[in-house]
Structure 1
Amino acid sequence: MVSPLLNAPATSIKLELLRLLARQDVLGPIPVFISMGIIAAFVAGKLSPWYWGAWLAWVALVLVGRSLLLARLPEMDYLSEKLRLRIAVMLSALNGVSHGISLLFFPLLTDMQQAVVSMILMGISSISVVTAAGYMPISIAYIAPTLMPMALLWAFNPNVEGWIGVSIAVMTLFFCPVMVVLAGSSFKMFQESFEIRKRQVALNLQLQEALDQAEAASRAKTRFLASASHDLRQPIHALSLFCGALAKRPLDDASREIAKHMDISLQALASQLDSLLDISKLDAGVVQVNDQVFNLRLLAERLQEEFMPAARSKGLSVWLDCPVDAHVKTDEVLLERIARNLLSNAIKYTEIGKVELALEIEAGNAILTIADTGRGIPEAEQVRVFEEFYQLDNPERDRSKGLGLGLAIVRRLVDLLTVQFDMESTAGGGTVISLTMPVVEPVSCRKSEQAAATLSWEHLCALVVDDEVEVGLGMKALLESMHCRVLLADGTEAALAAINRVRPDIILVDFRLRGTDNGITTVREARKVLPGIPAILISGDTAPDRLREAEEAGIELLHKPVLAGELEQAIAHACGLTEHENRVVAKREHK
């Protein structure tokens, strides 16, 4: 078995040659020994077995010993490479001498047998040049004790006519320099090959280093975005809660208008932060695909209706060309997110003309096309526009144009859904993007429609666990504006103490608490006391590792900033409350 070290990159030509000899001499002794056995068979009936048997045993010993030692030489770091090569040369000479001894049997052989012996020795000489990559000392060390004596024997062979023996001797002597020349050429090629591989290894190391640096930069970027996102979401989340609480109070018209604009600004900011969250979720692999059969035409009609006001505000129109039904099987929510991002970009970057949304069936596939007459994308930029935070023609970072994450999200979602994505665009000539997916047979399904809840639970008690005082107070203000009783805690220990005093109906807990404490631990410990109590994690953390951790915990997760309506709906769902049910929660136990 060849040592794994033989496959590691060599640092010098000498070490590479030693490794080559070690690899190629593993199976070589077997055919050589068979060839020597044929020579022994020629003299078996003419000499005592002690002579030819002892010679054959010596040949076997040399072959095996040489093979084992050559296999060890690359690992003998305590010897210099030059000395190890000298050992290899001596082993080749010893091998040549052991084979050359067979020429002592030459006078006893017939002309045919002599010719066979000559072919065997010349063949092994040729193989020695190949296996040594033409390294001259090793090649000469074998050729000298075999072919040179053989040429003399043919020149002075009394059993053949003089000119025939001399001719064979001359041919043998001519064969020797030819082999030397070939050996020199082979070794030169071996050297060039080694230099090429050496440069390739250096390039691979540089590429690996560059890749490691790029991956490190990507991880650093992810950590930075997650940290920045978390730090930004905390005060925005508190502001959102206070704004929600304010909107539920009786206000005069002017104050209500201010609160309305505050809410609109918060929603816009939350939308931009959610783009960062979407990227993190996709990179973390926690986005679940829910394939369902649905009518793509209905989705297109819904999108046209949704984006028509935005288009009209710019003097544009959204044309819809969907003459037929087209049922596909994919995740409707994620596909709609793709189409929404593309339509948003089309309207955003089109100043004059129209945006067209078309659906057609071709060769068993549904093709949803979004085309615009906007500024288009130069060919040189058509790859970069799918990078995070990259935007064309927005050097001033106009907030109305977003963060530059829309197409990055589209690319990841397209890969996730395995939807065929095609784009044609030219600078000044608009853009045409097509989403292609197989058509399937429609299925009958009934969807249950639930109206949005407007909740007021006078008997509901919520335990809010957050180590940020402002966030806790904001949550308390919002929930109390819904007439809900609120308990506050800043960690797992305080939450358990509160549970021992008053039994809550739901736990609203921040993911990241003080020190090593976290919301998952809080929920798990609380459920040991109150099995099955509803719980909602609220997090401003978008790091992929944290998202995967929350996904594996199986607890509903909301991301900061949480708007009032979103929190209300989540509590309603967790507690099983609906618009038509003002549920009276069981009387609390005071312990």
Structure 2
Amino acid sequence: MPAPVFIAAVLLCWLGRSPPATQDSVLAAWLALVALALLARRLVLHSNAVAALPPARGLRVAVAFSTLNGCIHALVLVVAPAPTDVNMATQSLLLVGLCAGAVATTAGYRPAFLGYMLPVIGALMLRWSSNDLAIAAIIGIFGAVLTSLADDSYRLFRDSFNIRLQQLALNERLREALRQAESANRAKTRFLASASHDLRQPLHTVALSAATLSLRPLDPDTRRISQHIDKALERLASQLDALLDISKLDAGIVPVQLEALALGPFLRQLWREFSPIAHEKGLVLTLDLDPGMPDTVMTDEVLLGRMVGNVIDNAVKYSRRGTIALSLHAHAGLLALVIEDEGPGIPPEEQGRVFEEFYQLDNIERDRAKGLGLGLSIVHRLAALLQVRLEMASVPGHGTAFYLLLPEHRGDSPRVARVPFHGNPLAALTVLVVDDNADVRLSMQELLHELGAAPVLANGTAEALLALERVKPDLLLVDLRLRGGDTGIATVHAVRARLPGLPAILISGDTSPERLREASDAHIPLLHKPTPVAQLQQLVAELVTSPSKERHVR
């Protein structure tokens, strides 16, 4: 507050100015003293030397400067006594105002406040006692009131400071808790990725062997056993794929391919796919479509199909009776895709948690037939990715309804549905298989032989390059993570340096977000272990037809 205080000092001089002219030099000297005191106070209290002092000593320095200011300001009543009662009253108001301001500038700290106030109020009381004792008494009472206000101000300041310290400590604890939560989440992601990779390796070997077995002539009983194996592998693979979907979404590498899609044919296909599954549980899956209603939206068919499929699958798993209704309604430019069931419903207090990872209602025994509890978590992430408004309504004992709200699209004609490839694109191809796991190499060799291909095996980039001296492959199948820091991406680059444009496919059991992002950035098609034979054949057909086409298989 140096500037306002100095201006007040100038006014005090002007009010006390009177002949003779020699008085001017005295007033100038007093003003210079005021300015020097203010400047010294500011420089000293803001200096590193005072900041380095113990708090008690630093406060004593502040009290000393406050007392010095008070004595200098009180001195004006001696060097510039007001010539009239009006001037004297105005001088008193200015000095009393400076005392009131000291309540704020000293934060009410009593030693500093009294160090300033007592000299000023004391000098005013002495000055007025010769003229009017009542005014002197009023000034004294006002000084006592200001002291009480200063005490209250200091108490509030101290409490506020303590609250701030508590808030800082709480913020630090919250930051530490957040760091621990993030660390635990990263550890969980690493654990799931490692566990998924370690499980996928032997499962991939079993899946390849089972696929090879199913391609051979079998008697009815052996065929039935093979089908049971395929069904068990399919269920286990779907659960591992749920972990993979979470990893992909967390890694931010799920590509969105927006196209005009007619929801009518799309929903009929889903109805045909899930009706037999619902029928096995004694449920009825119904489909309600208005033939004359516009049904075109701009979305990604694969991702939307995964969303709707997860919701229907969830309804089938948890419904014990009744109907699961799939319907489409239009309202105010939006298309509402609705999935309703007559299942047990969700209690209100649990409705916010059903979208959490691994959270399942009514599955305390962790029945694997009900999945891992990732279906709705994936739905929630995909809804955000596709900008689909997802709403849920549930009444315990009466069922649950999910609403997927999509804006109606008017423009391009709906895209023709994907046509799956039929045939054996691997026949007569020379395939270079690179994998550091001997069991996987042998299982892939047997499968490729059964499919009419000529497999060539290698355990890493070095062996793959040696193999190129003997054969010229038509296709490269390579594991993403090899031994000793070697990678499938490095293998592809090294092989393509000798055979430019060679079609290549990465096959990986790794689901860590970092590895998935690395594979995505390499722009090499990626399949995940265990790899279904039909999916491998579909991708090979696309690459052989258009070798320059590189994409990430979802």
Match runs of 1:217-256 below 5 Å = 217-256=184-223
Deviation, structure 1 residue 45: 7.0
Partner residue in 2 for 1:152: 126
Deviation, structure 1 residue 42: 4.4
Q: Please give the secondary structure, in 1, of the residue aligned with 2:481.
A: coil
Partner residue in 2 for 1:121: 95
Partner residue in 2 for 1:81: 55
Unaligned runs of 5+ in 1: 1-27, 157-161, 579-591
> 1: CA distance between counterparts of 2:304 and 2:183?
32
Q: Deviations over 1:50-100 (max 9, x none)?
A: 4333322332222233223333469834x2111111111112112222322
> 1: CA distance between counterparts of 2:77 and 2:14?
14
CA contact (8 A) 1:106 1:114 kept: no
Deviation, structure 1 residue 474: 1.4
- 2:41 paired residue among 55, 66, 69: 66
- Which amino acid in structure 2 is aligned with residue 524 of structure 1? H
- 2:294 paired residue among 301, 307, 325: 325
Partner residue in 1 for 2:550: none
- Residues 534, 58 of structure 1: alpha-carbon distance in 2 compared, 3 angstrom cutoff: farther
> 1: CA distance between counterparts of 2:505 and 2:83?
97
Q: Please give the secondary structure, in 2, of the residue aligned with 1:239.
A: helix
- Residues 509, 68 of structure 1: alpha-carbon distance in 2 compared, 3 angstrom cutoff: farther
Partner residue in 2 for 1:51: 26
Q: Please give the secondary structure, in 1, of the residue aligned with 2:478.
A: strand
Partner residue in 1 for 2:139: 172
- Which amino acid in structure 2 is aligned with residue 432 of structure 1? A
CA contact (8 A) 2:121 2:143 kept: yes
Q: Deviations over 1:395-435 (max 9, x none)?
A: 22222111111111112112222322221212212112212
Partner residue in 1 for 2:394: 425
- Residues 55, 306 of structure 1: alpha-carbon distance in 2 compared, 3 angstrom cutoff: same
485-494 vs 203-212, greater mean Cα deviation: 203-212
CA contact (8 A) 1:538 1:560 kept: yes
- 1:209 paired residue among 176, 182, 194: 176
CA contact (8 A) 1:456 1:483 kept: no
Q: Please give the secondary structure, in 2, of the residue aligned with 1:404.
A: coil
- 2:72 paired residue among 90, 95, 98: 98
Partner residue in 2 for 1:568: 537
CA contact (8 A) 2:425 2:541 kept: no
> 1: CA distance between counterparts of 2:82 and 2:197?
95
Q: Please give the secondary structure, in 2, of the residue aligned with 1:367.
A: strand
Q: Please give the secondary structure, in 2, of the residue aligned with 1:386.
A: coil
Unaligned runs of 5+ in 2: 548-554
CA contact (8 A) 1:230 1:542 kept: yes
- Residues 307, 29 of structure 1: alpha-carbon distance in 2 compared, 3 angstrom cutoff: same
1:294 aligned onto 2:254: no
Deviation, structure 1 residue 277: 0.3
Partner residue in 2 for 1:34: 7
Deviation, structure 1 residue 253: 3.6
Partner residue in 2 for 1:405: 374
343-352 vs 63-72, greater mean Cα deviation: 63-72
> 1: CA distance between counterparts of 2:541 and 2:67?
91
Alignment length, in residue pairs?
Answer: 543
- 1:533 paired residue among 496, 502, 507: 502
Q: Please give the secondary structure, in 1, of the residue aligned with 2:335.
A: strand
> 2: CA distance between counterparts of 1:414 and 1:274?
18
CA contact (8 A) 2:307 2:382 kept: yes
Q: Please give the secondary structure, in 2, of the residue aligned with 1:288.
A: coil
Q: Deviations over 1:494-534 (max 9, x none)?
A: 22232344332322111111122211222223333333322
- Which amino acid in structure 2 is aligned with residue 502 of structure 1? V
CA contact (8 A) 1:294 1:442 kept: no
345-354 vs 251-260, greater mean Cα deviation: 251-260
- Which amino acid in structure 1 is aligned with residue 42 of structure 2? S
Identity of aligned residues (%): 47
Q: Please give the secondary structure, in 2, of the residue aligned with 1:441.
A: coil
- 2:449 paired residue among 480, 483, 492: 480
Q: Deviations over 1:324-350 (max 9, x none)?
A: 233222323222211111111112222
Q: Please give the secondary structure, in 2, of the residue aligned with 1:463.
A: strand
Deviation, structure 1 residue 562: 0.6
> 2: CA distance between counterparts of 1:283 and 1:306?
28
1:471 aligned onto 2:446: no
- Residues 405, 154 of structure 1: alpha-carbon distance in 2 compared, 3 angstrom cutoff: same
Deviation, structure 1 residue 235: 0.6
CA contact (8 A) 1:456 1:484 kept: no
Partner residue in 2 for 1:20: none
Tell me the TM-score normalised to structure 2 length.
Answer: 0.92
CA contact (8 A) 1:296 1:325 kept: no
Q: Deviations over 1:84-134 (max 9, x none)?
A: 111111121122223223222332544343333322222222122113221
- 2:383 paired residue among 414, 422, 430: 414
CA contact (8 A) 1:154 1:168 kept: yes
> 2: CA distance between counterparts of 1:390 and 1:432?
19
Tell me the TM-score normalised to structure 1 length.
Answer: 0.86
CA contact (8 A) 1:365 1:438 kept: yes
Q: Please give the secondary structure, in 1, of the residue aligned with 2:354.
A: helix
CA contact (8 A) 1:73 1:84 kept: no
- 1:263 paired residue among 216, 219, 230: 230
CA-atom RMSD in angstroms = 2.3
Q: Deviations over 1:159-204 (max 9, x none)?
A: xxx3xx3333222111111011011111112222233333333333
CA contact (8 A) 1:453 1:572 kept: no
Q: Please give the secondary structure, in 1, of the residue aligned with 2:345.
A: coil
CA contact (8 A) 2:432 2:476 kept: yes
Partner residue in 1 for 2:551: none
- Which amino acid in structure 1 is aligned with residue 8 of structure 2? S
